[in-house]
């Protein structure tokens, strides 16, 4: 199957695109876009891949579902477009960065500045019906994004994987801990942030690891 995606990713993921599950997933997604209000815009499904080539990735942040509110999700997990109100989980991420590194809390929830530095922030499910969280789960996206995680683990080294919440933590088994840094804690959601996200210091720990490997730190 011919999928429009950045070339370094296409080369590595073509075997996934050619598998039966991906054809079934594509049929489902096309049908959903034809009959339902689905997010993000079709051209933005692989936005994260297109703006962060395989060799550029330094930090991987894993989420589960896209924001289901129209106008919020454009293909980068946790991020929202410029001028959009900052969602609660992202605000808690900013609060932890402030506590950890002393940086002021940004007025914008747009994380493109992270992406430009190699922060690959990906949901495990890449589409969703508007206002229906989880509506595209178990349709094949998870198989695909698990393959992405495995590919990064196998073919790269010295990456930082940030796994927040039980769902993201379940992906640790896909990552080779002998060649990457895995940071795990609870989800930054208001329901759980007080139980370990605040004070986790993942952002300073990530930078310490990158620095120890001779890599440029992330300007969080």
Residues marked active site are found at: 65
- Tokens 């930082």 belong to 160
Report how far apart the first and last C-alpha atoms of the chain are (Å, whole number). 37
Whether 95 and 35 have beta carbons less than 8 Å apart is answered as no
- Picking from 132, 134, 116, 114, the residue whose alpha carbon sits closest to that of residue 124 is 134
Q: How far is CA 209 from CA 38, 149, 180, 206, 215, in A?
A: 38, 19, 9, 5, 9
Q: Which helix (H) or strand (E) holds 92?
A: helix 88-101
């Amino acid at each position: 199957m011919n999928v429009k995606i950045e070339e370094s990713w296409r080369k590595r993921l073509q075997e996934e695109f050619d598998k039966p599950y991906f054809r079934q997933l594509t049929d489902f997604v096309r049908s959903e876009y034809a009959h339902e209000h689905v997010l993000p815009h079709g051209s933005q499904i692989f936005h994260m891949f297109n703006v962060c080539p395989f060799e550029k990735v330094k930090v991987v942040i894993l989420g589960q579902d896209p924001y289901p509110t129209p106008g919020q999700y454009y293909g980068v997990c946790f991020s929202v477009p410029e001028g959009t109100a900052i969602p609660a989980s992202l605000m808690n991420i900013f609060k932890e960065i402030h506590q950890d590194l002393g940086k002021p809390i940004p007025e914008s929830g747009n994380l493109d500045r992270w992406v430009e530095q190699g922060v690959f922030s990906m949901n495990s499910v890449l589409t969703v019906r508007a206002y229906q969280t989880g509506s595209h789960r178990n349709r094949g996206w998870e198989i695909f994004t698990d393959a992405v995680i495995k590919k990064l683990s196998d073919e790269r080294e010295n990456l930082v994987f940030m796994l927040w919440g039980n769902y993201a933590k379940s992906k640790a088994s896909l990552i080779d801990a002998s060649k990457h840094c895995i940071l795990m804690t609870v989800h930054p959601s208001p329901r759980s942030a007080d139980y370990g996200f605040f004070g986790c210091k993942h952002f300073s720990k990530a930078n310490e690891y990158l620095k120890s490997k001779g890599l440029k730190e992330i300007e969080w």
